[in-house]
């Protein structure tokens, strides 16, 4: 029969003497707590069970370091913490983990670069549109943003179709030169199709 509440010094001495029943009692007392401790960090049942086994194996192999005047629990959880830390290191060293970290970093980096490019492009576009006369800006907006034809723009503004074409061609030349100065070729391709 296993005694459930031994005074700590007596229990430690039994462990120091290699008493397997004392070790079994220690396991019965703490294996669930060690498992929960490991699972809280690793979130993996198999790894957490492995941590329990490693903890108790290491405890048994290093039982000569037990101080009978000190509690066992902190010593046991120190061993468990080290085993969890080692498990984290193994996971971090695995190529799969490195790939996941790199993919995440690339995604974040790409999002940041795209956001910066988008903000910069928006700023350059606003500056370019400021270079247009009021009528060029209006015709450009109606043509490119609203998708209206020369005839529709001419009808709305009560001007000739040729005047619409003239202002749009001049607006595109101004914008093309502005974007070219900023080395924005791809945007030009999209804008002037």
Q: Where are the domains of the chain?
A: 8-93, 96-191
* H-type alpha helices, the chain: 8-16, 20-42, 45-61, 72-93, 95-130, 134-140, 150-157, 161-181, 185-191
What pTM, to 2 d.p., does this model score? 0.47
**H helix or E strand, kind and range, residue 130:** helix 95-130
Express each pLDDT in 85-141 by its tens digit. 888 777 766 666 667 666 766 665 556 556 666 677 677 778 878 888 999 889 888
Q: Please give the CATH topology (third level) of the domain spanning 96-191.
A: Arc Repressor Mutant, subunit A (1.10.10)
Domains 8-93 and 96-191 share a fold: no
Q: Please give the CATH topology (third level) of the domain spanning 8-93.
A: Rna Polymerase Sigma Factor; Chain: A (1.10.1740)
What pLDDT does residue 58 have? 93
Q: Please compute the mean of the pLDDT values over residues 178-183 and round it to a whole number.
A: 71
């Amino acid at each position: 029969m296993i005694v459930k509440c031994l005074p700590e010094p007596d229990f430690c001495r039994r462990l120091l003497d290699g008493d397997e029943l004392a070790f079994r009692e220690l396991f019965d007392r703490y294996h669930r707590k060690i498992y929960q401790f490991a699972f809280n960090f690793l979130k993996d049942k198999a790894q957490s069970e492995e941590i329990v086994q490693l903890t108790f194996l290491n405890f048994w192999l290093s039982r000569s370091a037990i101080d009978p005047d000190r509690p066992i629990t902190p010593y046991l959880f120190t061993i468990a913490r080290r085993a969890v830390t080692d498990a984290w290191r193994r996971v971090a060293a695995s190529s799969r983990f490195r790939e996941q970290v790199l993919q995440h970093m690339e995604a974040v980096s790409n999002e940041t670069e795209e956001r910066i490019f988008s903000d910069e492009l928006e700023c350059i576009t606003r500056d370019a549109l400021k270079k247009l006369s009021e009528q060029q800006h209006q015709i450009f907006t109606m043509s490119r943003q609203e998708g209206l034809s020369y005839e529709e723009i001419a009808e709305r503004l009560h001007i000739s179709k040729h005047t619409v074409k003239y202002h749009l061609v001049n607006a595109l030349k101004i914008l093309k030169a502005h974007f070219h100065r900023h080395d924005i070729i791809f945007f030009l391709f999209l804008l002037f199709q």
